[in-house]
Amino acid sequence: MREAALDRPKDYVVVNNLSVMYHYRYDRTRNINDLEEAISYAEFAVNLERKGSPGRLLSLGNLAAFVFQRYVKTKTREHLEAAIAMAERAVLATAGGSDSGRAESLTNLGSMLHCRYKETNSLEDLEDAISRVRRAMTETPTEDSRRS
């Protein structure tokens, strides 16, 4: 499946959807193999998509969330660092745009940095988390439904 999708560039949507389905199954079963498949397909979807495409942001966000779930399951610091790196990539993918996904990406990154603060007790991580979430608030238009 992964190799076949290389021949059809639009298949990144299908690959991303498959990653989400594996994640749903992981939510239901808590089978780590399903989470690993979700991560694998999300990584593949990110690599299939053009930089700057709206679908890339979605796939990066999914990948960050799935890797964060792996951290929640394993409590392995390496997984938290990988999730933060993916979340930072998602924020960078929205740089300069007014895309509503930017606020969500900033909030997700802030939450992950907060988790790292709870693990490390580093005030720098807490300050960074607060900064990211505050920026998400200021960049979300007042008429946006997420602000009500």
pLDDT in tens, the chain (148 residues): 545 544 555 677 889 999 999 999 999 999 999 999 999 999 999 988 777 677 788 889 999 999 999 999 999 999 999 999 999 999 998 876 555 688 999 999 999 999 999 999 999 999 999 999 999 998 876 665 554 4
Residues 6+ apart with CB under 8 A from 46: 56, 59, 60, 63
Residue 19 · residue 42 · CB < 8 Å: yes
Query: Phi and psi of 22, rounded to 5°?
Result: -60, -40
Whole-number Å distance between alpha carbons of 110 and 116: 10
The whole-model pTM stands at 0.85
SS3 per-residue string spanning 47-92: HHCCCCCHHHHHHHHHHHHHHHHHHHHHCCHHHHHHHHHHHHHHHH
Residues 6+ apart with CB under 8 A from 12: 5, 45, 48, 49, 55, 59
